[in-house]
Amino acid sequence: MSSTPSARRTRSRRLAANIGLLTVAATFAVPLAWVVLSALDPKADVGVKTPDGITLDNFDAVLTDEITFTPMLNSLLLCGGGTLLTVVSAALAAYPLSRYRSRLNRPFMLTILFATSLPITAIMVPVYALFVRVDLIDTMQGTIFFFAASQLPFAIWLMKNFMDGVPKELEEAAWTDGASPFQSLLRIVLPLMGPGVAVVTVFSFVMMWGNFFVPFMLLLSPDQMPAAVSINDFFGSKGAIIYGQLAAFSLIYSTPVILLYVLVARRLGGGFALGGAVKG
């Protein structure tokens, strides 16, 4: 029995969609394949190819204090401190926006939304001048403050939307028992919006981890540079590019972000589970 024109059109559309999805997947898979294969290839180049023998020499070459360990530690300090400051500040800022109604809420949220669209390069010149004046240039704490400030607008926006999903009746019951607003935020709201906090944490950390421009502008001492800046040294500043070592460093550089996502993956997929929280 021959298929109808409608069935043939459906199959054609499905085939076109599958081809499009496979093409998009290949654009992501090919660079990842190059990184993995080149890290193990003693004669790696710009092409994606099977390694000419498996070796760990590229990892041995980059696993030194100067190339990897010190920059990675600097990155963890900068991004970890900036993420912690961002999440705490976003929770404290989002709580009154979510729980208290005011005529200023909407203008404030629109201002936050506008701040998320500002390119970081547009404000770096005045920020650099300000940091020089207040003696925060070339300091880890100054860079952490700016990291947190740059991610805070979008973090507040996300945190407020997640916080809106927590029933206010749960807090009112806690207030009846004598809890303060801060206690209800800490003991009721934040535990119930765990997936939201996880999203803000991962998003903030990833955005800071891959940021090259901010630490490049605000940090001057080589021993304070994070891995996002030190990776630039592989691109010709020390002679010809050694692609195998560059790929090995890239794998090591990606590890903390992957581990963070794995650690919070259950919270991201767990949902809020508040369906019966206010029933009964």
Residue found by looking up tokens 């809420």 in the block: 105
DSSP 137: T
Q: State the pLDDT at residue 268.
A: 62
H or E segment and range at residue 7: helix 5-39
pLDDT of residue 236: 62
Q: What class has domain 65-269?
A: mainly alpha
- How many other C-beta atoms are found inside a 10 Å radius of the C-beta of residue 131? 20
Residue whose C-alpha is closest to residue 261's, from 209, 186, 218, 214: 209
pLDDT of residue 273: 44
Cα gap 254→39, rounded to integer Å = 13
The structure's pTM equals: 0.82
Per-position pLDDT tens, the chain of length 280? 456 777 777 888 888 888 988 998 888 888 888 888 888 888 878 777 877 778 888 899 899 999 899 999 999 999 999 999 999 999 999 988 888 887 887 887 788 777 777 788 888 888 999 999 999 999 999 999 999 998 998 899 899 988 888 888 888 888 887 888 888 888 888 888 888 898 899 999 999 999 999 999 999 998 999 999 988 888 765 557 788 888 999 999 999 998 888 887 765 654 444 444 444 4
Q: For position 155, what pLDDT does the model report?
A: 92
Domain ranges within the chain, ordered by starting residue: 15-54, 65-269
CB 184 within 8 A of CB 250: no
pLDDT digit string, tens, across residues 5-48: 777 778 888 888 889 889 988 888 888 888 888 888 888 787 77
